[in-house]
Structure 1
């Protein structure tokens, strides 16, 4: 199954930049909209709007509220999300194409899967 968000939700994700090291996606949806299950590699997320979402990873589910201008590290993950607020969700994902470092002291700590506001 292809879990690339550009394939699973082409009406919500747009590639705005890509090279051999990163891919940058812009995500936009409206209140009530939901994504299909999809996956992201290690990424940095930047919120462009304030929004409220319900995030689901397997059986785990949680609701999040994020302000515009919030920036966070997100470890690679597979999930789906739903806009449960009354505002549009707008965010940028900077997806890394390089594998995570494996040498001691070279890893980055970040929030657990389903970071603070993954669409």
Structure 2
């Protein structure tokens, strides 16, 4: 990945586990924090806190309001983000190493949907 979030935003992303199949990242920020553009491969995102974020990509943005305790699919994408809520964001990403690293053609930004 040429825009690895651990490299582009090391104050927010850290590697908590890695092997030849997956890489697990922890993301933590505070209200008002922003990230620079970075890329995610196909991943599973697990929310550990309730949060509100604005995701920016290619001149567009999408606001997401997510509850704690959800696991969601995150298609490969490049974006920047900002915490637009009043609470910290705390998330785990399980990145799939054998998944495509190409940008999603779906045009969807952020997680695909909330799990029931």
RMSD of equivalent CA atoms: 2.0
Aligned residue pairs, count: 108
Superposition deviation, residue 2 in structure 1: 3.4
Q: What stretches of structure 2 of length at least 5 have no aligned partner?
A: 101-105
Q: Deviations over 1:70-112 (max 9, x none)?
A: 1100111000100000000000000000035xxxxxxxxx993
Please list every run of at least 4 consecutive aligned residues from structure 1 whose deviation after the TM superposition is greater than 3 angstroms: none
Find the aligned partners of 1:66 and 1:111 in 2 and give their Cα distance.
Answer: 20
Find the aligned partners of 1:116 and 1:98 in 2 and give their Cα distance.
Answer: 20
Please, what TM-score do these two structures have when normalized by structure 1? 0.84
Q: What stretches of structure 1 of length at least 5 have no aligned partner?
A: 101-109
The counterpart of 2:109, out of the listed 106, 113, 116, is 113
**Residue in structure 2 matched with residue 90 of structure 1 by the alignment:** 90
SS in 1 for 2:110: coil
**Residue in structure 2 matched with residue 49 of structure 1 by the alignment:** 49
The higher radius of gyration belongs to 1
Find the aligned partners of 2:37 and 2:111 in 1 and give their Cα distance.
Answer: 16
Q: Is the 8 A contact 1:2 1:8 kept in 2?
A: no
Superposition deviation, residue 37 in structure 1: 0.1
Q: Deviations over 1:55-80 (max 9, x none)?
A: 11111111111000111001110001
Change (3 A) 1:66 1:116: farther
**Residue in structure 1 matched with residue 8 of structure 2 by the alignment:** 8
Q: Deviations over 1:9-60 (max 9, x none)?
A: 0000010000000000000000000011000100000000000001111111
